[in-house]
């Protein structure tokens, strides 16, 4: 078997070459404390209609259930921050992470390349790659591996780069050198808690009621958005970046260097009335390779209609 220190160095070097910003490694083991927290969160119904979050509980909290003989969890961060914005300040808004090509495909391609590299260097290794699409507690693994702390807004924050990152993991049956958690630097700051218009973040932080989050309403919820939230969406039609926009640590955010995440000119140029009149044909053209397809045309239309009423507009 290869020397853990040497192969760890090679893996991190290759990950950076592939475009990942940060890499950390944790020992693959059962997550007892995280399991208790997840169970309490589910029991309080904070997952709303996201029933899939209650599925495969054992797999979520034990990496050996996902990869037999798992020894290491490699956590990686891929930057998606951009300073580009939709030009019409009154247009319904899309979260930055969905500006370009669907991150699941972009990041997974790079993960598969990294796993192939590991097998080239270390021989027959059991392994699987994950990008926000399997029962993996990605923020907890990232925290354990020292590439950030979980902030009061429940997002992973890197002390030199902020939180505009996709998280990804490779679980492998290979012993590596392990990193340790870093300190929480949120301190007494409450900006994300106070800024959240739907009070989704607990008063002391660190717990997010997913069933109250604007991202949940605009992406996950399949039925009508509850009327009690009218006037609280701040013009977000897909996702929400409020708790990241107010976070002081995001002053360190730097624009990504991933061409696939660049927003199309047509997306940035669309005016409010064009969004309100969007046809299915335009939707399919704009979001052919985008994560926005998740909400489907009818879902986006529902969200835009909700915002239209929210802003006091009425159809003629």
Give the rounded percent of residues in the chain with a pLDDT score beyond 90.
Answer: 93
> Looking at residue 52, what DSSP letter applies?
G
What is the band of 61 on the pLDDT scale with cuts at 50, 70, 90?
Answer: very high
Find the mean pLDDT for residues 53-70. Answer: 93
Contacting residues for 13 by C-beta, under 8 A, at least 6 apart:
none
List, in sequence order, every residue forming a beta bridge with 72; answer none if it has no partner: 27, 172
Q: What does the block give as tokens for 220?
A: 């996950």
Range 101-107 average pLDDT: 96
Taking every pair of C-alpha atoms in the chain, what is the biggest distance, in angstroms? 72
pLDDT tier at 258 (50, 70, 90 boundaries)?
A: very high
**Residues 3, 5, 9, 11, Cα dihedral to 10°:** 60
Q: Is 132 a catalytic residue?
A: yes
64 secondary structure, DSSP code:
G
Instruction: Give the three-state DSSP class for 240.
Output: coil
At 312 the pLDDT is 56
Which pLDDT score is estimated for 162? 98
- The whole-number pLDDT of residue 278 equals 97
Backbone angles phi, psi at 130, to 5 degrees: -140, 135
79 has which bridge partners?
165
Q: In this model, does residue 252 exceed pLDDT 90?
A: yes
Predicted local distance difference test score (pLDDT) of residue 133: 77
The confidence score (pLDDT) of residue 227 equals 95
Q: Is the pLDDT of residue 1 over 80?
A: no
Average of per-residue pLDDT values in the chain: 95
Note the pLDDT of residue 292: 97
Per-residue pLDDT of 175-232, as tens digits, reads 999 999 999 999 999 999 999 999 999 999 999 999 999 999 999 999 999 999 999 9
What is this structure's pTM?
Answer: 0.95
Distances (CA, A) of 34 to 51, 103, 207, 312: 19, 26, 13, 43
pLDDT for res 316: 41
Q: What pairing do the DSSP bridges indicate for beta strands 72-79 and 165-172?
A: antiparallel
Q: What share of the chain has pLDDT > 70, as a percent?
A: 97
Asked whether the predicted pLDDT for residue 13 surpasses 60, the reply is yes
Tell me the pLDDT tens digit for each residue of 115-170: 999 999 999 999 999 998 788 999 999 999 999 999 999 999 999 999 999 999 99
Closest CA to 151 of 104, 76, 202: 202
Distance, C-alpha 217 to centroid of its chain: 16
The answer to whether 20 and 170 are in contact (CB under 8 A) is no
Residue of 219, 215, 218 lying closest to 201 (CA atoms): 215
Query: How far, in Å, CA of 238 to CA of 62, rounded?
Result: 32
Instruction: Name the active-site residue from 62, 88, 132, 184.
Output: 132
Residue 315 has what pLDDT?
46
Q: Which 3 state secondary structure label does DSSP give 45?
A: coil
Distance CA 147, CA 139 (A): 10
pLDDT, average across residues 280-299: 96
């Amino acid at each position: 078997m290869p020397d853990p220190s040497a192969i760890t160095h090679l893996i991190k070097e290759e990950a950076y070459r592939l475009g990942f910003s940060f890499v950390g490694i944790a020992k693959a083991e059962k997550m007892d404390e995280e399991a208790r927290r997840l169970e309490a969160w589910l029991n309080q119904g904070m997952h709303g209609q996201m029933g899939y979050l209650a599925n495969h509980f054992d797999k979520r909290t034990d990496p050996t259930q996902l990869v037999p003989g798992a020894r290491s969890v490699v956590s990686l961060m891929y930057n998606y921050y951009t300073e580009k914005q939709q030009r019409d300040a009154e247009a319904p808004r899309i979260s930055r992470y969905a500006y370009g090509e669907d991150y699941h495909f972009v990041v997974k391609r790079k993960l598969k390349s990294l796993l192939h590299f590991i097998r080239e260097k270390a021989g027959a290794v059991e392994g699987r790659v994950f990008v926000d699409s399997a029962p993996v507690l990605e923020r907890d693994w990232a925290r354990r591996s020292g590439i950030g702390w979980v902030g009061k807004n429940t997002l992973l924050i890197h002390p030199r780069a902020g939180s505009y990152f996709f998280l990804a993991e490779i679980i492998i049956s290979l012993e590596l050198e392990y990193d340790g958690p870093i300190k929480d630097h949120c301190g007494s700051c409450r900006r994300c808690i106070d800024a959240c218009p739907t009070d989704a973040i607990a008063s002391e932080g660190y717990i997010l009621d997913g069933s109250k989050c604007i991202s949940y309403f605009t992406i996950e919820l399949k039925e009508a958005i509850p009327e009690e939230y009218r006037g609280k969406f701040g013009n977000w039609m897909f996702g929400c970046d409020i708790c990241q926009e107010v976070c002081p640590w995001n002053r360190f955010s730097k624009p990504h260097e991933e061409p696939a995440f660049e927003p199309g000119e047509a997306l940035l140029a669309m005016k409010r009335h064009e969004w309100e009149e969007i046809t299915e044909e335009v939707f399919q053209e704009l979001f052919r390779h985008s994560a926005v397809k998740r909400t489907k045309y009818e879902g986006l239309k529902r969200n835009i209609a909700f915002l239209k009423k929210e802003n006091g507009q009425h159809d003629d």
